[in-house]
Amino acid sequence: MNICVYCGSSDGRQSSILDAAKEFGQLLAKNRFRLVYGGSSLGVMGSLANSVMRNGGKVTGVIPEGLFRKEVAHQGITELITVADMHERKSTMANLADAFVALPGGFGTLEELFEIITWNQIGIFNKPVVIYNVNGFFDSLIAMIDLSVNAGFIKPENRNIVKIAETSEDCLRLCRQH
């Protein structure tokens, strides 16, 4: 199984987020799941990929040519795919993945998460989407999604596309469902 993880290219200010990424990476490797991610050696992305590799797992990174710089692109992973742009990156990652997990990150992480939810909603594919809510990081986002459901902008059945996990184990369990 290939699990695509969207997450930050920065470390953030909470070391517990990096710890959660490392723990999740270890669990992916232990369960022989391949990580598909954005290809960076930095931030939460780098911590996650390093953990998978350190624990004997396999990692595929997908990075646009414009971001491919020696200090950014992860040179120590199983496979690094270089693509033309962000659109091709997202499409490649989506096609490689059997499930998706969002760890904390910024605008890019949120944009990727919402695009993959939308692709599920409109029927491009039907693959699990999990928000790993490390220390309540996504509480406000989850509340906003639920507000949109209550306001009639998101159908209740489409709200069910998004699963919420509080632990690494929950993430894997939810990724396996479908």
DSSP symbols for the chain: -EEEEE--SS--S-HHHHHHHHHHHHHHHHTTPEEEE--BSSHHHHHHHHHHHHTT--EEEEEEGGG--TTTB-SSSSEEEEESSHHHHHHHHHHH-SEEEE-S--HHHHHHHHHHHHHHHTTS----EEEE-GGGTTHHHHHHHHHHHHTTSS-HHHHTTEEEESSHHHHHHHHH--
What pTM was computed for the model? 0.94
Question: Which residues in the chain land under pLDDT 50?
Answer: none
Structural domains of the chain, with CATH = 2-176 (3.40.50.450)
